[in-house]
Structure 1
Amino acid sequence: MENSSSDDDSDTLSEGSDLQLYSEHEFSSDTDSDDDTQQTESSMEPDSQQTEATDDDFWSYDLHPVDIAPFTEQETNRYAEQEMTRKGSRDSIWYPTTSPEMKAFFGLNIIMGINQLPRIDMYWSENPFVGNEGFKKCMTRTRFEKLLQYLHINDNQAQAPAGSPSYDRLHKIRPLIDMTRGNFQKFYKPGKCQSIDEGMIRYKGHHYAQQYTPGKPIKRGLKIWMRCEPSGYTNDYRVYLGKHDSMCGPSLGERVVKHLCKPLKWKGHHVFFDRYFTSIPLLQTLESYGVYGSHCIYNI
């Protein structure tokens, strides 16, 4: 597989022989730890304060009501309020959403990907050959468009200042990335054979991370580095940020493989990738950690 011209960035990073791990904003997880040794006995000992406490110190029969505040951390509602405050006027059509309604909203979006129509409003068409009765029963078109307008999954005000070490270019979708990566790794144990390659998410808007690959089926979009099963199941992934990515520059493909293979160390996995990722130092590094790399040649 050929990489796009945008991969040839001039930024460089120091290279090491180890499987590199990047900052916590670069998709670190509990499987990314550099400490591959077993926990020592001392680290497993209970806290001294806990050992001194008795059941009588902890439990009590003196029961009293506990006031539990309602859960209000819904980012779509928060963003709607922030936008109305910023504009200095109220949105007379908007009212706070709920978790069940948002689940229905996402369900409708999934159905739109299966039953595709040229325009969103056509799903609510009165024409029996065009409109979808399920959509009409679920919510009105106006409500769907309002949810789409204020859809948000992270608090903008929690973003660190630009230029600071903790600034996250993927802050707006960070909870979604963390949730999906965590679930991918939680519910499926990687098999012996793994494949590493790129994927493209079609995107026609304007974004600094947008890639252009004229020789691919999806020519413009966001690039995702992926480690997958032979069945196509995604075990892990990483969003590529172009020139702003910490792995950009020379040996980008090698760095990607090292990053995605870090959880596979000393487990005897066989990893396949094409010539863009392949290098002799990479194969030597993988073998030194019990991961067996292989250059896969195929035609698109």
Structure 2
Amino acid sequence: MSDKEVIKLVNNLSKTKKIYTDEQLLQLLEREMSDDEEGGEVSDEEDTHLDFELGGDQEIDEIPDEVEDELQEFVSAGWCDNNTTTALPFSGQQAFPGRDLLNGNEPVDYFNLFFTDQFLEMIVQESNDYAESIFMRAGVSEYSRITSWKPLTVGEMKVFLGLLFHMGTLKAVRMTDYWKQAPLFSLGFGAYMSRNRFFLIMRCMHFAKNASPEDPAPQDRLYKVRPLITHFNERVKLVYYPHKNLCIDESVMLWRGRLFFRVYIQNKRHKYGVKFYLLTEPNGFILRCIVYSGKSDVLAGVGHAEKIVNSLTEDFYDAGHSLFMDNYYNSVGLAERLLEKKN
């Protein structure tokens, strides 16, 4: 929060007749700083969207009810000088039950642990169905690339994913550069899949059926990728149980295309993108993820931060985990409720 913004906030406070305690003023400043960190949704017409902003003509009495509630909770927490916190014993057992599902100890065996044949078959089926729907559209040119579509198989999908992941280790200016045939620049991708086939699979890849024009619009903005998110969260829960210490943080995946719930975060390296809330271990291993889908998200609204924490940690209650998070998520009320759940 810049000095100019602090001065602006103080000037607004001076215009109101309401009297605030030092603790309430501190809470307001922290709220403003948290808003700066969180950023906001970005529509196609504007660069930023702020959930709460104090304007020059706006009085502090118009703070939303959830802010007043948080301030009241902060004041009535009952602070004392004695440290009465008792360390909770960790009753969970760090384990890797997925070890029994491995067919070996090679990297591909760990890949198969998450990308099961059943999951890949679902992707293949949905992608084939979508490709067929494109092919059947009226007005498709006989020279269109989709006319060369052949049914996708699980084996071919594994090759596609392997090449896609390998692109993360080999940086190229354009995606077509991975299929260059000149000896000096050849990366060997063409030996496994042709360029046209790769781009055609990427064009048709689907995880769920598109909504029918006759049906009501889906309430879930993420319905097209919801099977992927659900599969990841459920699969991690099945194959791994973490150590005592857990962390909550957010990450932004770079995205500058058209997307209603794209966010803008000023102090991030990638300012535009899709926001993820993550539960991880200290080493960065992701245990659970939530994709922020805008103000219509069921986790949005009053108590947004606490809803995020509860949703991420609900599978780890009553185990004595230590949860680390920044001041955006934390509050006295949340700490008390986590203690009730022995975390």
Q: Is the pair's TM-score, using the shorter chain for normalization, greater than 0.5?
A: yes
Kept after mapping to 1: 8 A contact 2:277/2:290: yes
Cα separation, partners in 2 of 1:159 and 1:176, compared to 1, 3 Å: farther
Distance verdict in 2 for CA 1:206–1:12, change over 3 Å: farther
- The share of aligned pairs that are identical, in percent, is 31
Pairing 1:238–2:293 present: no
SS class of match (1:284): helix
Structure 1 counterpart SS, 2:284 = coil
Does the Cα contact within 8 Å between 1:12 and 1:248 map onto a contact in 2? no
SS class of match (1:221): strand
Counterpart CA distance in 1 for 2:179 and 2:65 is: 52
TM-score (norm 1): 0.71
Q: Distance in 1 between matches of 2:249 and 2:132?
A: 41
1:220-249 alpha-carbon deviations (Å, 9 max, x no partner): 111111110011111111111121211222
Change in 2 beyond 3 A, CA 1:95/1:108: same
- 1:172: Cα distance to partner? 0.9
Tell me which protein shows more helix as a share of its residues: 2
Query: Structure 1 CA distance, aligned partners of 2:207 and 2:307?
Result: 30
Alignment partner of 1:198: what SS?
A: strand
User: Structure 1: which 5+ runs fail to align?
Assistant: 16-70, 292-300
Indicate how the Cα distance of structure 1 residues 192 and 160 shifts in structure 2: closer, same or farther if over 3 A, else same: farther
Change (3 A) 1:149 1:125: same
Task: Please show how residues 120-269 of structure 1 align to structure 2 within 5 Å.
Answer: 120-133=175-188, 135-157=189-211, 161-162=215-216, 167-269=219-321
Amino acid corresponding to residue 267 of structure 2 in structure 1: G
Instruction: Read off the aligned partner of 1:3 and give its amino acid letter.
Output: E
2:161 to 62, 81, 106: 106
Equivalent residue number for residue 92 of structure 1: 147
Q: CA deviation at 1:158?
A: 7.3
Query: Is 1:77 aligned to residue 128 of structure 2?
Result: yes
Match of residue 339, structure 2, among 279, 287, 290:
287
Q: Return the structure number with greater relative CO, CA threshold 8 A, min gap 6.
A: 1
Aligned residues: 232
TM-score, normalising length: structure 2: 0.62
The 1:12/1:236 distance shift into structure 2, 3 A limit, reads farther
Residue 4 (structure 1) aligns with: 39
Counterpart residue identity of residue 204, structure 1 = R
Against the structure 1 CA distance between its residues 154 and 119, is the aligned structure 2 distance closer, same or farther, given a 3 Å change threshold?
Answer: same
Shift of 1:87: 3.2
Answer yes or no: is the 8 Å Cα contact 1:268–1:290 preserved in 2.
yes
> Structure 2 unaligned runs (5+)?
1-33, 42-48, 53-63, 70-120
C-alpha contact 1:117 1:123 (8 A) present in aligned 2: yes
